[in-house]
Structure 1
Amino acid sequence: MAALAMALASLLQVAAAASAEKSKTTVSVSLPKAPLLVQINQVALERQGPKRAIVEYAGDAGQGSYTVLRDGKPIKQGELLPLQPFKEWSPGKRYFSVDFSDAEQAGKYQVDVRIGKQQASSAPVPVRDNAVFATTGAQLLGYFKRSRHTDEADRDLQIFQSTRRVNAWGGWQDAGGDKGKYLSHLGYANYFNPQQASMAAWVLAYGAHARKALFAAHGLQTQIEDEAFWGADYLHRTLDAEGYFYTTVFDQWGTPGAQRMVTGYEGAAGTYTTLYRSAFRAGGGMAIAALARASMLAKQSGRHGEFDGAQYLADAERGYAHLRKFNAQYGADGKENIIDDYTALMALVELHNASGQSAYLDDARERAARLIARQQKDGGFISDGGRRPYYHAAEAGLPVISLSAYVDIEPEQGRRQRALDAIGLALAHELSITNAVANPYGYARQRFQLTRDGKAAGEVLEGFFIPHRNETGYWWQGESARLASLSAAMIVGGRKLADQGTAEQGKAGYGLPADRAAYAQNQLDWTLGRNPYGMSMLYGFGKRNPPTVLESAGEMFVGGISNGITGAVGSDTGSGISFAPGPDSEQWRWVEQWIPHTTWMLFAVMAMSENRS
Structure 2
Amino acid sequence: MTLLSQSRRTRLHLSALALALSAAGSAHAAAPHTATAKVSVHLPTAPLLVQINQVALERTGPKRAIVEYAGQGSGGTYTVLRDGTPLAQGTLQPLPAFSEWGKGKQYYSVDFSSADQAGRYQVDVRIGSRQASSAPVVVADNALFATTAKALLDYFHRSRHTDPADRSVRIFQTNRKVDVWGGWQDAGGDKGKYLSHLGYANHFNPQQASMAAWVLAYGADVRKARFSAQGLQAQVEDEAFWGADYLHRILDAQGYFYTTVFDQWGTPGAERMVTGYEGAAGTYTPLYRSAFRAGGGMAIAALARASLLARNSGRHGEFDGAQYLADAQRAYDHLRRFNAQYGADGKENIIDDYTALMALVELHHATGEQRYLDDARARATSLMARQTRDGGFISDGGQRPYYHAAEAGLPVISLVAYAAIEPDTQRQQRARAAVTSALAHELAITGSVANPYGYARQRFQLTTGGKASGPVLEGFFIPHRNETDYWWQGESARLASLSAAMTAGAGKPLSTAQAAYAQDQLDWTLGRNPYGMSMLYGFGAKNPPIVLESAGEMFVGGISNGITGAVGSDRGAGIAFAPGPNSEQWRWVEQWIPHTTWMLYAVMMAGEG
Alpha-carbon distance in structure 1 between the residues aligned to 2:6 and 2:119? 44
Aligned to 1:449: 461
Q: Does structure 2 conserve the Cα–Cα contact (< 8 Å) formed by 1:551 and 1:584?
A: no
Alpha-carbon distance in structure 2 between the residues aligned to 1:116 and 1:358? 68
Q: CA deviation at 1:568?
A: 0.1
Alpha-carbon distance in structure 2 between the residues aligned to 1:57 and 1:29? 19
- Residues 333-352 of structure 1: pairs in structure 2 closer than 5 A: 333-352=345-364
Counterpart selection for 1:179 from 187, 191, 196: 191
Query: Which structure exhibits the higher relative contact order, with contacts defined as CA atoms closer than 8 Å and separated by 6 or more residues?
Result: 2
- Residues 88-127 of structure 1: pairs in structure 2 closer than 5 A: 88-127=100-139
Which stretch of the first structure deviates more once superposed, 25-34 or 341-350?
25-34
**Letter aligned with residue 511 of structure 2:** P
Counterpart selection for 2:145 from 119, 122, 133: 133
Alpha-carbon distance in structure 2 between the residues aligned to 1:179 and 1:442? 35
Counterpart selection for 1:568 from 566, 569, 577: 566
**Letter aligned with residue 402 of structure 1:** S
Q: Does structure 2 conserve the Cα–Cα contact (< 8 Å) formed by 1:143 and 1:559?
A: yes
Aligned to 1:20: none
1:207 aligns with 2:219: yes
Counterpart selection for 1:427 from 408, 429, 439: 439
Distance 1:231 1:591, change over 3 A: same
Aligned to 2:70: 58
- Residues 69-80 of structure 1: pairs in structure 2 closer than 5 A: 69-80=81-92
Alpha-carbon distance in structure 1 between the residues aligned to 2:244 and 2:221? 13
Q: Does structure 1 conserve the Cα–Cα contact (< 8 Å) formed by 2:61 and 2:607?
A: no
1:363 aligns with 2:391: no
1:377 aligns with 2:375: no
**Letter aligned with residue 266 of structure 2:** G
Q: Does structure 2 conserve the Cα–Cα contact (< 8 Å) formed by 1:549 and 1:584?
A: no
Aligned to 2:24: none
Distance 1:8 1:221, change over 3 A: closer
Counterpart selection for 1:36 from 42, 45, 48: 48
Deviating above 2 A after TM superposition, structure 1's stretches of 4 or more consecutive aligned residues are 3-11, 23-26
Q: CA deviation at 1:584?
A: 3.1
Determine helix, strand or coil for the equivalent of 2:589.
coil
Counterpart selection for 1:259 from 271, 280, 286: 271
Counterpart selection for 1:326 from 326, 330, 338: 338
- Residues 520-535 of structure 1: pairs in structure 2 closer than 5 A: 520-535=518-533
1:85 aligns with 2:83: no
Determine helix, strand or coil for the equivalent of 2:207.
coil
Paired residues, what number?
585
Q: CA deviation at 1:5?
A: 5.0
Unaligned runs of 5+ in 2: 12-34
Alpha-carbon distance in structure 1 between the residues aligned to 2:7 and 2:124? 42
Over the aligned positions, Cα root-mean-square deviation in angstroms equals 1.4
Aligned to 2:32: none
Counterpart selection for 1:597 from 590, 595, 598: 595
Q: CA deviation at 1:59?
A: 1.2
CA offset digits 1:202-229 (Å, max 9, x no partner): 0000000000011001000000000000
CA offset digits 1:261-299 (Å, max 9, x no partner): 000000111000000000000000000000000000000
Q: CA deviation at 1:62?
A: 2.0
- Residues 445-484 of structure 1: pairs in structure 2 closer than 5 A: 445-484=457-496
Distance 1:24 1:370, change over 3 A: closer
TM (norm. structure 2) is: 0.95
Q: CA deviation at 1:8?
A: 5.3
Distance 1:255 1:55, change over 3 A: same
**Letter aligned with residue 538 of structure 1:** L
Alpha-carbon distance in structure 2 between the residues aligned to 1:576 and 1:195? 28
Q: Does structure 2 conserve the Cα–Cα contact (< 8 Å) formed by 1:7 and 1:552?
A: no
CA offset digits 1:51-87 (Å, max 9, x no partner): 0000000011221000000000001000000000000
Aligned to 1:234: 246
Aligned to 1:503: none
Alpha-carbon distance in structure 2 between the residues aligned to 1:217 and 1:76? 33
Alpha-carbon distance in structure 1 between the residues aligned to 2:139 and 2:274? 46
Q: Does structure 1 conserve the Cα–Cα contact (< 8 Å) formed by 2:7 and 2:268?
A: no
Counterpart selection for 1:27 from 31, 39, 42: 39
Alpha-carbon distance in structure 1 between the residues aligned to 2:242 and 2:467? 38
Aligned to 2:448: 436
Aligned to 2:61: 49
Q: Does structure 1 conserve the Cα–Cα contact (< 8 Å) formed by 2:58 and 2:607?
A: no
1:280 aligns with 2:302: no
Aligned to 2:16: none
Aligned to 2:606: 608
Q: CA deviation at 1:609?
A: 3.8
**Letter aligned with residue 120 of structure 1:** A
Alpha-carbon distance in structure 1 between the residues aligned to 2:588 and 2:512? 31
Alpha-carbon distance in structure 1 between the residues aligned to 2:61 and 2:5? 42
Aligned to 1:402: 414
CA offset digits 1:349-372 (Å, max 9, x no partner): 000000110100000000000000
TM (norm. structure 1) is: 0.94
Alpha-carbon distance in structure 1 between the residues aligned to 2:325 and 2:592? 28
Alpha-carbon distance in structure 2 between the residues aligned to 1:288 and 1:4? 32
- Residues 163-178 of structure 1: pairs in structure 2 closer than 5 A: 163-178=175-190
Determine helix, strand or coil for the equivalent of 1:590.
helix
Q: Does structure 2 conserve the Cα–Cα contact (< 8 Å) formed by 1:9 and 1:255?
A: no
- Residues 137-148 of structure 1: pairs in structure 2 closer than 5 A: 137-148=149-160
Q: Does structure 2 conserve the Cα–Cα contact (< 8 Å) formed by 1:4 and 1:588?
A: no
Alpha-carbon distance in structure 1 between the residues aligned to 2:164 and 2:487? 31
**Letter aligned with residue 472 of structure 1:** T
Determine helix, strand or coil for the equivalent of 1:209.
helix
Q: Does structure 2 conserve the Cα–Cα contact (< 8 Å) formed by 1:6 and 1:253?
A: no
